[in-house]
C-alpha cells in the first residue's frame, strides 16, 4: 500500500466534570453517571500496512517520561485483534503511537487510543462496520472506550460507561490546567477504596449539563464533582495540598480526572490558565494548559 494511504489521527485525553458512582454491580463494575469532556492533550496514531499481514504496535513517548505498556497489554493491539476476530478480515496493519497523555493518570488515554484504533482500522481495512458494532467492541475493551468512539467531545455517560449520550459542545472553549503526576494510580484500587456510604449518593448531572450549555465557566467550576475523589485522596493524601495550591493560584474550581491522580483546575481564560500553571508548576511532576476539543478522535 502506498504511503499516501497511511491514516493519521489524534486521540484525546478526557476529564470527568461530573462522576457519580450509583452502585456496585455483580460483575465487579460500578454503575456510573458521568459527564466526560475531551481536551486537546492528544496522542498521535498512524496506521499503515504491514509487510507480513501481522498486527504490530509501536509506542514511543513524546517526552520520554512515561513507562510504556507491554504490547500484549496494549489496548491498541487488543482493539485490532478484536476487530479482526469479529469481522474475519485477514489483513494486518502497522500502528504507531506517539504518546503524550500520561499512562495511569485518569485521563482515559489508553481508552482513546483503543477507540482511535477501532475507527482507523475500520477505515483502513474498509470494513464499514455499523457504529453499534464498534460500540460493542469498544465496551469489551474498556469502560471509557465507548465515550471516545461515540464521537462527541462532551457526553453524558451511564451504565458501566457503555451508554453514551452526546451533549452539545459548550458555546465557548473551557480552559484547564492539568496537574500531572508521574506515579500512576490503578483504577481498580481506587474503586476498591470506595466506602459503602460513598456509593449511591443522590446527585443529578442536570445542573452541570445546563452550566455547560450556557457556557457558564464559573458555574461549571462550582459544580465539579467526582465520587472517586475521596478514595483517590485517601490513597494519595498529597493531592489535597495540590488541590488547594490550584485554588490559591486562581483556579475557579478543581476536579479529579477519572480515578486520578491527575488534578485539573478550571480557568476563566487561556491567559489565566497559563498564569495558574506557572504558579503551581513546582507542586506537580508536570503541568499542562489544555482546552475543550470537539471530538475525542480526529482524523488528520
As a whole number of Å, the CA-based R_g of the chain is: 19
Q: Which of 104, 142, 153, 260 binds ligand C5P (CB under 6 A)?
A: 142
Does the protein bind ligand C5P through residue 219 (CB under 6 A)?
no
Q: How far apart are the first and last CA of the chain?
A: 19
State how far the alpha carbon of 233 is from the alpha carbons of 11, 226, 236, in Å.
28, 11, 5
State how far the alpha carbon of 173 is from the alpha carbons of 30, 263, 266, in Å.
31, 19, 11
Does the protein bind ligand C5P through residue 279 (CB under 6 A)?
no
Phi, psi of 19 (to 5 degrees): -150, 115
Does the protein bind ligand C5P through residue 30 (CB under 6 A)?
yes
Does the protein bind ligand C5P through residue 191 (CB under 6 A)?
yes
Which of the stretches 27-35, 56-64, 114-122, 177-185 binds ligand C5P when contact is defined by CB under 6 A? 27-35
> How many residues in the chain?
300
How many residues bind ligand C5P (CB under 6 A)? The answer is 11
In whole angstroms, what is the distance from residue 192 CA to residue 265 CA?
26
Q: Which of 144, 227, 243, 272 is catalytic?
A: 144
Q: Which of 187, 209, 292, 295 binds ligand C5P (CB under 6 A)?
A: 187
Of 18 and 175, nearer to ligand C5P (C-beta) is 18
14: annotated active-site residue: yes
Q: How far is the CB of 189 from ligand C5P (least distance, A)?
A: 8
- Dihedral angle sign, alpha carbons of residues 48, 151, 30, 284: positive
Q: How far is the CB of 191 from ligand C5P (least distance, A)?
A: 4
User: Cis ω on the peptide bond leading into residue 110 (within 30° of 0)?
Assistant: no
In whole angstroms, what is the distance from residue 219 CA to residue 204 CA?
15
144: annotated active-site residue: yes
Does the protein bind ligand C5P through residue 29 (CB under 6 A)?
yes
Of 27 and 197, nearer to ligand C5P (C-beta) is 27
User: Cis ω on the peptide bond leading into residue 261 (within 30° of 0)?
Assistant: yes
What amino acid positions are annotated as catalytic residues? 14, 144
Q: Which residues sit at the interface with ligand C5P, rule CB under 6 A? A: 29-30, 32, 142-144, 160-161, 187-188, 191
Amino acid at each position: 500500500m502506498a504511503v499516501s494511504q497511511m491514516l493519521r489521527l489524534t486521540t484525546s485525553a478526557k476529564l470527568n466534570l461530573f462522576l457519580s458512582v450509583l452502585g456496585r454491580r455483580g460483575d465487579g463494575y460500578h454503575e456510573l453517571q458521568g459527564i466526560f469532556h475531551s481536551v486537546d492533550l492528544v496522542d498521535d496514531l498512524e496506521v499503515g500496512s504491514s509487510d507480513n499481514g501481522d498486527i504490530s504496535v509501536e509506542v514511543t513517548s513524546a517526552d520520554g517520561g512515561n513507562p510504556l505498556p507491554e504490547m500484549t497489554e496494549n489496548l491498541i493491539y487488543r482493539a485490532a485483534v478484536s476487530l479482526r476476530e469479529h469481522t474475519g478480515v485477514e489483513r494486518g496493519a502497522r500502528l504507531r503511537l506517539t504518546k503524550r497523555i500520561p499512562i495511569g493518570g485518569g485521563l482515559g488515554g489508553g481508552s482513546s487510543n483503543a477507540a482511535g484504533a477501532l475507527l482507523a482500522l475500520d477505515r483502513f481495512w474498509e470494513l464499514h462496520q455499523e457504529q453499534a458494532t464498534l460500540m460493542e467492541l469498544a465496551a469489551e475493551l474498556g469502560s471509557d472506550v465507548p465515550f471516545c468512539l461515540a464521537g462527541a467531545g462532551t457526553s453524558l455517560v451511564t451504565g458501566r460507561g457503555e451508554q453514551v449520550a452526546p451533549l452539545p459542545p459548550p458555546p465557548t472553549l473551557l480552559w484547564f490546567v492539568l496537574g500531572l503526576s508521574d506515579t500512576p494510580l490503578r483504577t481498580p484500587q481506587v474503586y476498591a477504596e470506595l466506602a459503602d456510604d460513598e456509593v449511591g449518593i443522590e446527585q443529578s448531572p442536570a445542573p452541570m449539563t445546563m452550566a455547560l450549555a450556557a457556557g457558564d465557566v464559573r458555574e461549571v467550576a462550582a459544580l465539579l464533582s467526582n465520587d472517586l475523589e475521596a478514595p483517590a485522596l485517601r490513597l494519595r493524601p498529597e493531592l489535597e495540598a495540590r488541590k488547594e495550591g490550584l485554588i490559591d493560584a486562581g483556579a475557579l474550581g478543581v476536579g479529579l480526572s477519572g480515578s486520578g491522580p491527575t488534578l485539573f483546575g478550571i480557568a476563566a481564560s487561556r491567559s489565566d490558565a497559563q498564569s495558574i500553571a506557572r504558579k503551581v508548576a513546582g507542586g506537580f511532576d508536570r503541568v499542562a494548559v489544555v482546552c475543550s476539543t470537539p471530538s475525542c478522535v480526529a482524523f488528520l
